[in-house]
Structure 1
Amino acid sequence: MSGTTAEGVLALGRALRDGSLDSATLTRGCLDRIAAENPRLNAFVEVFEAEALAAAERADRERAAGTDRGPLHGIPVALKNNFDMAGLATTACSEALRDNVAAADADAVARLRAAGAVIIGRTNMHELAYGGTGQVSATGPARNPRDTDRLAGGSSSGSAAAVAAGLVPVALGSDTGGSVRIPSAACGLVGLKPTFDRIPTGGVVPLSWTLDHVGPLARSVADAAVVAAVLAADADTTVPSPSPVGLHLGVARFPDLALDPAVAERFERSLEALQAAGHRISRFDLEYTREAHRSWLAIMYPEAASRFEALLGARYEDFDVTIRTQLEAGRHVGATTYLRAQRFRAFYGRHIAGIAAGYDLICMPTLPTVAPKVGQKSVELPSGTVSTQDAMTFSNLTANMLGWPAVTLPMTTREGELPAGLTLLRPAGQDHQLLADAAAVAPIIGNKPV
């Protein structure tokens, strides 16, 4: 066992248990890779070298004494910079939060510690998680490991870059409109947004309390499933067996948004491969997408503004101009607009549930384009020019509006291509079944680490 993070959480865990690898060696390897690659990628904003090595050595001692805390025992994990750690400032990559010292660990962090995971550092992110590009951060944008002239996606940009570059085997992110799945797709990873509240968000800097989720970014479905199970405090942390052949996939078409031809070609190729493997494909138009986008904004904006209202008044200049503009806009969303958006949300949930009832699961492209370039403000698609932000979130916000679990899987990446993702979606509470479906679909569409 070489102990590289490309081997993934499960393989590393087996090596730790059979004695062919120890956590201290694994953690030192991660720290060395971070030191070598982070200047190029800007993935980590904090690295806890001494603390991580101490935790790794403690895991080794516990294992030698016969204590096994589960599948993450001794495994290095990275956290997005909006997860609280007791005694440290949680800045969410915003200068305005530089004094935001946490009194306690976030719930997810406490569960990682109880599972014996080694918290190795916190990662770069779009400021306050308030954007899908990863462009805006007090420490500058994280870079895509496949092409450092391009963004890693947002808002969990550094978490995606860190896992995709092999700096760490797995990382956590938060997801309000795609912020786990967007960077996962852009960097060629598996990204899981679970059912709303399945993984606790307590101690994660809130952006929108009715839309926020926590989820893992990993190199395989199995790794994402195991981490999610630990974070959800499931008694059973075994990997779901792949669903049998014969799934009926409802493939969503977006009437208002045409895919970049390169992404469209890979998506169609993936669907053909699924059909050839014995799965059934049907297509439907995903209606009300523009209304869903407007309602998502009308919910997120005032919820974010209410959270940061006092800080916006006290430290106005410390927010990036794009962030404070959004926070200011949220102040002017009236109660009637907010309540209408919530009413539409309820209707939209019923509408999508009606569609989903005709299929085993819903399938769609995660992003209409590949990772944009650093500084790129708009994307040219066959349907017209859209802002980079809208291109990143347009097909992802539905899962947040509904609170349904969604997972993005990397499609086959040929030489010279940038990663692209395919999303699977199931109704709320069906996380285990969704992961079983993902385990069946991933090898067919080309789930190979990039």
Structure 2
Amino acid sequence: MQTFSTLARQFEERTISAASLLRSAREQAERSVDLNALAFADWEGAQVTAQQCDAARAAGQALGPLHGLPLSIKDLYPVRGMPMHAGTRAALPAGTLDQALLVSRLRKAGAVIFGKTNMHEIALGSTGENSWTGDVKNPFDTLRQAGGSSSGAGVAVATGVGVASIGSDTGGSVRIPANFCGVTGFKPSHGAIPLDGALHLSWTCDHAGPLAASVADCALLFEVMAARSLAVTRTARAPRLGVPTAWLNGRLAPAVRAHFERTLERLTRAGAQLVDVATPLLPQAARCFTTIVQAEAAWTHRAALLQGGAGFSPSVLAPLQSGRQIAATDYIDALRMRAAIAAELDAVLAGCDALLLPTSAVVAPLRGQLHVEVESGPMTVREAVLGQTLPFSLVGVPALSIPTGLVDALPVSLQAVGARGADAALLGLGQWLETQVGQRLQPPARP
């Protein structure tokens, strides 16, 4: 993985071109085809775009901030000239745009969009296992999950199939694959990146976000997609960082706990002030999240469900059908609990620069695995993985996942959660955290 700043220097030195970067992405895609990252690729069309980028650079024309960089897009965003299936065989709701607004902004900034990435069916899952399109496999161990639902995006970035990818995050779908694949992932504040044209899972919890090689790369992609200048700067002082100790008690696998404690020790030595924060309502997040997401997903896919749900796999059809049975009073109760959790987290984050916790309670589980062992005993994979990330999608605060090393030869990451709307501050803090404890992880070489 190469960062945008490294690539920019190589462009200036004329040691690379948009065409050569695209060629490298294609070679890596062919080398790692068994990982199943891509749902669709238009290499020929992308080559034309790359050649146009190189011609513009040679002519001295004004260049966009992503000029010539090859990117992939999760297959729930429409991209002009490419099909969209969202990992399902069911009929999708009619879209309002032939291209998502964020994709148009990326292209305007000069990005070379070469393909769509595979995903957990309709984004309703966190494993990347898909009975229709095939499982997306972890690049560090193909027997393990790549994470979801932006599974292919995480694998593509980790293996060099493009320099970055755009995912979505309803309960952790950017951060989980970023963690399992050893890359950086950013979920911004709710609504910061417009979702015009995208296929919704839950409009209350849906976010768009980038996966890339570094925090700075995620920041630039965020600026482009959000159409705003953040003026991100690294934190100029030792940060005050909150740790939800009581909530994490018993939740983590012992090896992940040990790595997290070592990470906190390193941050303390770097000058960070760590404070214990109380989050008594956080255990309620999973239940109200499930109610909201299932109800809204069932509404989104109501036409297909009214026709019997043909084309949905059994594991996806079941929660959609459950969503149709949720009473309005239960949905409203869940929204009220969401508001209470949001108020609690807003108050906690007003007293510190960010919350810190592991992105996942465990390393990437085996594909097909349903339970894992944590400090308190057996836990479902869903709770161990999604439970670490969903509260922050539920309430819409920004969250960043930064790889910090390997445990049992598999990536682990630190999750930093910022105050609502404080995306620039969190990204600036993220660059400091990356300097102190971040690691650039590389999967084993593909034959």
TM-score for the superposition, normalised by structure 1 = 0.94
Match of 1:3 in 2: none
- Structure 2 gaps of 5+ residues are 443-447
Kindly report which structure 2 residues correspond to 1:294-443, keeping only aligned pairs within 5 A, or say none.
294-314=287-307, 316-413=309-406, 416-443=408-435
Kindly report which structure 2 residues correspond to 1:10-409, keeping only aligned pairs within 5 A, or say none.
10-38=5-33, 40-97=34-91, 103-235=97-229, 240-253=232-245, 254=247, 257-314=250-307, 316-409=309-402
8 A contact 1:84–1:102 mirrored in 2: no
Instruction: State the distance in 2 between where 1:183 and 1:257 align.
Output: 23
Instruction: State the distance in 2 between where 1:76 and 1:448 align.
Output: 20
TM-superposed deviation, 1:61: 1.1
Instruction: State the distance in 1 between where 2:250 and 2:320 align.
Output: 27
Instruction: State the distance in 1 between where 2:141 and 2:290 align.
Output: 31
Cα distance change, pair 34–82 in 1 and its aligned pair in 2 (3 A): same
TM-superposed deviation, 1:321: 0.3
8 A contact 1:245–1:277 mirrored in 2: no
TM-superposed deviation, 1:25: 1.1
- Structure 1 gaps of 5+ residues are 1-5
Instruction: State the distance in 1 between where 2:429 and 2:385 align.
Output: 24
The alignment partner of 2:3 has SS state of helix
TM-superposed deviation, 1:144: 0.7
Cα distance change, pair 341–313 in 1 and its aligned pair in 2 (3 A): same
TM-superposed deviation, 1:168: 1.6
The alignment partner of 1:85 has SS state of coil
Instruction: State the distance in 1 between where 2:249 and 2:94 align.
Output: 41
TM-superposed deviation, 1:134: 1.2
User: Considering only aligned residues, what root-mean-square deviation do their CA atoms show, in Å?
Assistant: 1.7
Instruction: State the one-letter code of the partner of 1:9.
Output: F
Instruction: State the distance in 1 between where 2:261 and 2:205 align.
Output: 30
Cα distance change, pair 137–13 in 1 and its aligned pair in 2 (3 A): farther
8 A contact 1:86–1:101 mirrored in 2: no
Cα distance change, pair 327–98 in 1 and its aligned pair in 2 (3 A): closer
Match of 2:445 in 1: none
Moved more, 105-114 or 63-72: 63-72
TM-superposed deviation, 1:284: 2.6
Instruction: State the distance in 1 between where 2:391 and 2:333 align.
Output: 17
TM-superposed deviation, 1:99: 9.6
8 A contact 2:53–2:110 mirrored in 1: yes
Identity %: 37
Aligned length: 441
Corresponding position: 1:8 with 2:3: yes
TM-score for the superposition, normalised by structure 2 = 0.95
TM-superposed deviation, 1:202: 1.3
8 A contact 2:294–2:323 mirrored in 1: yes
Cα distance change, pair 100–148 in 1 and its aligned pair in 2 (3 A): farther
Cα distance change, pair 100–27 in 1 and its aligned pair in 2 (3 A): farther
CA deviation profile, 1:224-265 (whole Å, cap 9, x unmatched) = 1111111111246x6x33212411100113257521011111
Instruction: State the distance in 2 between where 1:140 and 1:220 align.
Output: 29
Instruction: State the distance in 2 between where 1:45 and 1:70 align.
Output: 27
CA deviation profile, 1:32-54 (whole Å, cap 9, x unmatched) = 1111211x211111111111101
Instruction: State the distance in 2 between where 1:262 and 1:381 align.
Output: 9
The alignment partner of 2:2 has SS state of helix
Instruction: State the one-letter code of the partner of 2:8.
Output: G
Instruction: State the distance in 1 between where 2:18 and 2:131 align.
Output: 32
Cα distance change, pair 98–300 in 1 and its aligned pair in 2 (3 A): closer
The alignment partner of 2:90 has SS state of helix
The alignment partner of 1:95 has SS state of coil
Cα distance change, pair 71–155 in 1 and its aligned pair in 2 (3 A): same
Instruction: State the one-letter code of the partner of 1:58.
Output: Q
Instruction: State the distance in 2 between where 1:45 and 1:102 align.
Output: 22
TM-superposed deviation, 1:9: 2.2
TM-superposed deviation, 1:24: 0.6
